[in-house]
Amino acid sequence: MKPQRRTVEFKADTRNLFFHILTSCNLRCKHCYINPEQHGKETLDEPTVKEWLKIFIKGREDAQKTNVIFLGGEPTLNPNLAAGIKFARKLGYGSITVDTNGYLFHNILDKVTPEEVDFFSFSLDGSRPEINDPIRGEGVFNVCTKGIKEAKKRGFFVSLIYTVSRMNISDLKNMPELISKLDIDRFFIQVIGIRGKSAKHQKEEPLQLTKKEWEEVVPKVAHEVAEQGIPVVYPKVFLEKGEPFKCAAMVADNYFVFPNARVYKCPLCEDFPINSFEIQDGVLKRRPPITEMDLCHLNIPEGCVLNKILQPGNIEYDPAGAPKYKIACCMLKEEVKMI
């Protein structure tokens, strides 16, 4: 067996619900994409969490084809998280993931079981405190790794998310060792998105990576981790010549839900009130134009139109002014695992 890489195509018959159940957080990460002005400041109560979970599988016989990812802010700060997890399981969601910064508030590990949660996904942006903590906050590395150990001790599957930017790309090579030490089950490398705080500070501190920087480091580290038998997923970002471009908002069934009832199809649009849907009285309602979908329709030589509008720092042009490559949908992933 050796590590094999494959592009994970969008599956039209699989739904992913990215459910932000609050926007508050105990941390102030430098690249946080949460924007309370646009996403709301509410902490969803238990009846609302349950009602909204029902919306996305209502009337469908294939509930198991819907995955829910509970997010925040920090989702464990919402005291209704455990009830939401149990309810999602009862409704038949295919998989349940909790993305956490590792603080695990409200003793969440005491309130749910490995049968109820498929993965706790912890965010770490460095292999040691000297790299992670300037990005995520003083003392966060130690708290997060302690949380990982505790979750593993109790039999939960644990994934790790590392958001790569100019601030920490040089440290990514040190992650395979930490991942092995912490007995991580799945590794996600995420690329910095220029939204939320990153967008505000983009001028003073550009965080985006070039194609060269990305390709020299990320696939190699992913391969190394996969050699340990740990699956790795990372965004494709750059399309090779001839590779087809597809926009997930057009061909896949992803919903990014925020506490103010806005529902987006494209995560890059989340700083703007151009959401495709909103939840009104327990019903998912399509909003009138102009919404993100009117932009997603546009066909441009740079690939993703929202990338071109919001974060074009990753595009290069040839002397004739043509883009050298297309930027893939941010939802298109590469998976590397032992086969």
Q: Interface residues with ligand SF4 (CB under 6 A)?
A: 25, 27-29, 32, 34, 72-74, 101, 247-249, 266, 268, 296, 304-307, 329-331
CB-wise, 187 or 255, nearer to ligand SF4? Answer: 255
**Least Cβ distance, residue 120 to ligand SF4 (angstroms):** 14
Do residues 253 and 16 make contact, with C-beta atoms less than 8 angstroms apart? yes
Element (H, E) at 92: none
Alpha-helical regions (H) of the chain: 36-39, 46-55, 81-91, 108-111, 129-136, 140-153, 175-182, 197-200, 211-226, 248-251, 292-296, 305-310
Q: Which of 107, 32, 96 is nearest to 63 (CA)?
A: 96
DSSP output for 244-310: PP--HHHHSEEEEE-TTSEEES-GGGTTSS--SEEEETTEEEEPPSSSHHHHHT--BTTB-HHHHHH
**Least Cβ distance, residue 285 to ligand SF4 (angstroms):** 20
Q: Which of 85, 94, 104, 199 is nearest to 154 (CA)?
A: 104
Do residues 140 and 27 make contact, with C-beta atoms less than 8 angstroms apart? yes
**Least Cβ distance, residue 5 to ligand SF4 (angstroms):** 21
**Least Cβ distance, residue 282 to ligand SF4 (angstroms):** 26
Burial classification of residue 313, based on how many CB atoms lie within 10 Å of its CB (0-12 exposed, 13-18 middle, 19 or more buried): middle
In one-letter notation, the amino acid at residue 45 is: D
SS3 234: strand
CB-wise, 223 or 287, nearer to ligand SF4? Answer: 287
CB-wise, 189 or 268, nearer to ligand SF4? Answer: 268
CB-wise, 81 or 306, nearer to ligand SF4? Answer: 306
CB-wise, 148 or 329, nearer to ligand SF4? Answer: 329
CB-wise, 72 or 259, nearer to ligand SF4? Answer: 72
**Least Cβ distance, residue 308 to ligand SF4 (angstroms):** 9
CB-wise, 24 or 95, nearer to ligand SF4? Answer: 24
Element (H, E) at 189: strand 186-191
**Least Cβ distance, residue 280 to ligand SF4 (angstroms):** 24
**Least Cβ distance, residue 143 to ligand SF4 (angstroms):** 11
Q: Which neighbouring-strand residues pair with 104?
A: none
